[in-house]
Structure 1
Amino acid sequence: MIIKAMELMNLQAYSHLIFLFSTLLSSQSIDLKPVRASSPPIQALVAPITKDAATSLYTLSLSGNQYLLDLSGPLLWSPCSPTHPTIPCSSGEYCAAVAPGAPNFGDGQCTCTARPTNPVTGDQAIGDLTLTDVATNATDGNTPTAEVTAHGAVSSCAPDRLLRSLPRGVTGDAGLGRGSLLSLPAQLYGKVSLSKQQFAICLPSTATAPGVAFFGGGPYGLMPPTQLDAGAALSYTDLVRDPMRPSTYSIRLRGIAVNQEAVPLPAGALDRGGGGVTLDTALPYTVMRRDVYRPFVDAFQRAMAHVPRMTSVRPFELCFDSGALGFTRVGYAVAPVDLMMASRGGGVGNWTVFGANSMAQVAPGVACLAFVDGGWAVESAVAVGGFQMENSLLVFDEDASRLGFSGTLLFVRTTCGNFNFSRD
């Protein structure tokens, strides 16, 4: 679920904690094995991403545990042990800034709290802020090179009930959200001497081979047939800020095309929600507001009028006889969908969605257009879900305020499941 506007005050409030946390965070150390003190700065950190077959959500492996990959989440959270460390309030004002009216005064001591949220259900809770260790691996872009532990990352405790509807075995939420000092990327940047303050995700399309997340600069190496730097030929578009949902990654959308023909959208339909598009890994499939969805589906149906229709399968509306569809290197031979964006430098760039990312196989012989009608209440005109991001490299460069995207890697005969996680 897209983060609600009510979270805005919580996100803004995190900035008030910087002075409280700065002493705690700067006193923490980094363990590197087997890197020596004379080693150069770490180029990047790497962690596997797994797709859960039951929920079509994605998990990130950290410290030997699985966390929900939450692109819009503002912080790390997980259930805590009864003896978890807490962060004392410098005054009641700090606690009120994070969770208004809800500092924790257990045992007569004031401790700071946060408001962790399940991004799928929207369920919220209040939990202590605590310190935890985040363990992962350094990488040269091609393989893991060293174990890395960042001590003293700030996270929030959460009740077990907040794990409902998440993939089985998940122990918490890894928030990668924009502009949050307590997001996973921001904390890793502050604790590890990384080459760049950016991160990249490459979501897998199956549960059998993990995708990959990089924190830091490239290369972003994938195999086979040869070692490929997936970040060598990216297109870029500006990231824009949505003041109502500051932790989301939003991009401007000029229009949508089906089979290279512009979809006739109502005037101003894409003006809301940060210019039309947010990216959200807590959504299995792309969700469109109804005034965008209806003309889009009608255009796709016209382009595919020669293919026999099948009965709709929820949550999808437009389903086809997959036996009547041709197949290509990039999935079913269906009309391509273009998300039309303004590129950096004033040019025009399209994020083109081919059959592998537009058609979901829902049953033997049945494939459906994997875009969902969000009704009128959704906050974005278009919220791009995980299925449409699979097997594409996405680079989130906060310093340059831009998104880099590779397009489908299937064209170059590789996938996000082809990072070499074995050590030489």
Structure 2
Amino acid sequence: MQTPPSKMAHRLQVHFHLIFVLCTLLISSPSIHNNLRIVQASSPPIQALVAPITKDTATSLYTLSLSQRQYLLDLSGPLLWSPCSTPHPTVPCSSGDCAAAASGSGAPKSCTGQRPCTVRPTNPVTGEQAAGNLTFTDISTNATDGKTPTAVVTVHGVLSSCAPVSLLRSFPGAAAGDAGLGRGSAASLAAQLYAKLSLKRQLAICLPSVTDAPGVAFFGSGPYGFLPFALLDASDLAYTNLVKNSPSSSSSAAYGIRLSGIAVNQEAVPLAAGVTVTFDTALPYTVLRRDVYRVFVDAYQSAMAGVPRVPGVAPFEACFNSSGLGVTRVGYAVPSVDLMTEGGGGNWTVWGSNLVTQVATDVACLAFVDGGWAAPSAVALGRFQMEDNLLVFDEANSRLGFTGTLLFIRTTCSNFNFTRG
């Protein structure tokens, strides 16, 4: 006996309704979503992120490319900050996120109820500060195998401070904010990327010496690839211990090392042991405290006794007629400088390309500046001395890895292959 058409239609409706309900459950179930995430995450975990570093023509400052925007590369900054749109999400002042960000920025720790968290971002070039709400943003960059970018990665919920547009004064024109990468601050961009992606707590930077090709920053593990054939890993670097700065210091988030001495042309300069070096990308050239500056510059001028002196060109004191200087793969053929690191890490040898800068036709100057007696550290290493050197700030092991100039191995910081693999 055949089923009446009306009953058949009813059964079909029930059947399709059940299918619809099951599909809805499959789509909306959190457990199903979790399973989908697990399947998607079954690909190899991210070991490192990579981002281009650009040298600005007008200011010689560096910017880091993130989320298709440019942020000032601030190696000793405790925060990520930029001007915010209105309205924007805020963070309660009673939260742990607020406590972490405020401790790094020097903001007051007073808090009442659920009021928005306020921090104090700083312009590292001018020293100017301003109050701003702590908020969240998303950051996009690329994963890498050390040789090329491999995939776009977006990190959600990154803590960032709002700031007035006026705080961007003296930044490169393209800069939308400041990427603080400093040490010891849980709210620095570097620390947040490590935590959110379970990366090794290690930042590598390679600052370009040119404005028409980018350098590179790595967050996480190596290796570090540079064309045409250099693939550097941990065994290719020399190491020395990182030292902590005083929390009350103006450079408390700066990376620092300690020297047992300095040599010019392999002759020791008369300095007390234990000289502290900090790294500061806001400084165009290395700044030396007065006592260190005087003995260092006197020693260098003695080593250059055979080269005609010319009047100093501000901010430099020791300048030379460069017309008779030879040129090598690593810059002018001038006496080298050895930064003798504590702890048996070996010497960081600095050659002509990072010692002497051309300031006019036939005039080259020793690129070190007198910081006076009030300088915050004995040696504050500036951008010029870092260019074309791979520096690996290995916070996980509290050590600095360094290569010396890459020019010796016939490559530069501008030779990372940013073509997607």
Same topology, TM > 0.5:
yes
Tell whether the 8 Å contact from 1:222 to 1:230 is kept in structure 2 after alignment.
Answer: no
Q: Which amino acid aligns with 1:256?
A: I
Q: Which residue of structure 1 lines up, in the alignment, with residue 4 of structure 2?
A: none
Tell whether the 8 Å contact from 1:130 to 1:154 is kept in structure 2 after alignment.
Answer: yes
Q: Which residue of structure 2 lines up, in the alignment, with residue 162 of structure 1?
A: 167
Q: Matches of 2:355 and 2:220 in 1, distance apart?
A: 30
Question: In the alignment, does 2:409 pair up with 1:412?
Answer: yes
Q: Matches of 2:308 and 2:157 in 1, distance apart?
A: 57
1:261 offset after TM fit, Å?
0.3
Question: In the alignment, does 2:107 pair up with 1:99?
Answer: yes
Q: Which residue of structure 2 lines up, in the alignment, with residue 397 of structure 1?
A: 394
Deviations 1:388-423 (A, max 9, x none): 011111111111100000111100000000000011
Q: Matches of 2:129 and 2:221 in 1, distance apart?
A: 34
TM-score by length of 1: 0.85
The partner residue of 2:129 within 112, 124, 142 is 124
Q: SS in structure 1 opposite 2:125? A: coil
Q: SS in structure 2 opposite 1:155? A: strand
The partner residue of 2:239 within 236, 239, 242 is 236
Q: Which residue of structure 1 lines up, in the alignment, with residue 380 of structure 2?
A: 383
Deviations 1:251-284 (A, max 9, x none): 111111100001123xx4x64xxx4211111111
1:232 offset after TM fit, Å?
4.1
Q: Matches of 2:206 and 2:94 in 1, distance apart?
A: 40
Tell whether the 8 Å contact from 2:238 to 2:345 is kept in structure 1 after alignment.
Answer: no
Q: Matches of 2:128 and 2:299 in 1, distance apart?
A: 36
Q: Matches of 1:91 and 1:395 in 2, distance apart?
A: 32
1:338 offset after TM fit, Å?
0.9
Moved over 4 A (4+): 94-98
Q: Which residue of structure 1 lines up, in the alignment, with residue 17 of structure 2?
A: none
Q: Which residue of structure 2 lines up, in the alignment, with residue 197 of structure 1?
A: 201
> 1:102 and 1:118, CA in 2 relative to 1: closer, same or farther beyond 3 A?
farther
1:359 offset after TM fit, Å?
0.7
TM-score by length of 2: 0.85
1:242 offset after TM fit, Å?
1.3
Q: Matches of 1:348 and 1:130 in 2, distance apart?
A: 41
1:348 offset after TM fit, Å?
5.0
1:111 offset after TM fit, Å?
0.3
Q: Matches of 1:421 and 1:281 in 2, distance apart?
A: 23
1:43 offset after TM fit, Å?
1.5
Q: Which amino acid aligns with 2:346?
A: G
Q: Which amino acid aligns with 2:71?
A: Y
Please provide the CA RMSD for this pair. Answer: 2.1
Kindly report which structure 2 residues correspond to 1:225-374, keeping only aligned pairs within 5 A, or say none: 226-229=229-232, 231-243=234-246, 244=249, 245-265=251-271, 268=272, 271=274, 275-343=275-343, 347-374=344-371
Q: Which residue of structure 2 lines up, in the alignment, with residue 113 of structure 1?
A: 118
Tell whether the 8 Å contact from 2:203 to 2:220 is kept in structure 1 after alignment.
Answer: yes
Q: Which residue of structure 1 lines up, in the alignment, with residue 3 of structure 2?
A: none
The partner residue of 2:85 within 81, 88, 92 is 81
Q: Matches of 2:345 and 2:161 in 1, distance apart?
A: 41
Q: Matches of 1:208 and 1:364 in 2, distance apart?
A: 22
Greater radius of gyration (CA): 2
Tell whether the 8 Å contact from 1:41 to 1:193 is kept in structure 2 after alignment.
Answer: no
Q: Which residue of structure 1 lines up, in the alignment, with residue 150 of structure 2?
A: 145
The structure in which a higher percent of residues are helix is 2
Q: Which amino acid aligns with 1:152?
A: G
Q: Which amino acid aligns with 1:76?
A: L
1:89 offset after TM fit, Å?
2.8
Q: Matches of 1:207 and 1:355 in 2, distance apart?
A: 20
Q: Which residue of structure 2 lines up, in the alignment, with residue 181 of structure 1?
A: 186
Q: Which amino acid aligns with 1:239?
A: L
Q: Which structure 1 segments of 5+ residues have no match?
A: 1-34
Tell whether the 8 Å contact from 1:102 to 1:113 is kept in structure 2 after alignment.
Answer: no
Q: Which amino acid aligns with 1:307?
A: V
1:295 offset after TM fit, Å?
1.0
1:36 offset after TM fit, Å?
3.9
Q: SS in structure 2 opposite 1:254? A: strand
Q: Matches of 1:65 and 1:102 in 2, distance apart?
A: 34
Deviations 1:199-248 (A, max 9, x none): 10011001011000000101100001x24326541000000111134311
Q: Which structure 2 segments of 5+ residues have no match?
A: 1-38
Kindly report which structure 2 residues correspond to 1:2-151, keeping only aligned pairs within 5 A, or say none: 36-90=40-94, 99-100=107-108, 110-151=115-156
The partner residue of 1:219 within 210, 213, 223 is 223
Q: What's the % identity of the aligned pairs?
A: 70
Q: Which residue of structure 2 lines up, in the alignment, with residue 422 of structure 1?
A: 419
Q: Matches of 2:42 and 2:245 in 1, distance apart?
A: 43
What is the number of residues matched between the two proteins?
A: 376
Q: Matches of 1:333 and 1:230 in 2, distance apart?
A: 29
Deviates more, 1:353-362 or 1:50-59: 50-59
Q: Matches of 2:136 and 2:95 in 1, distance apart?
A: 19
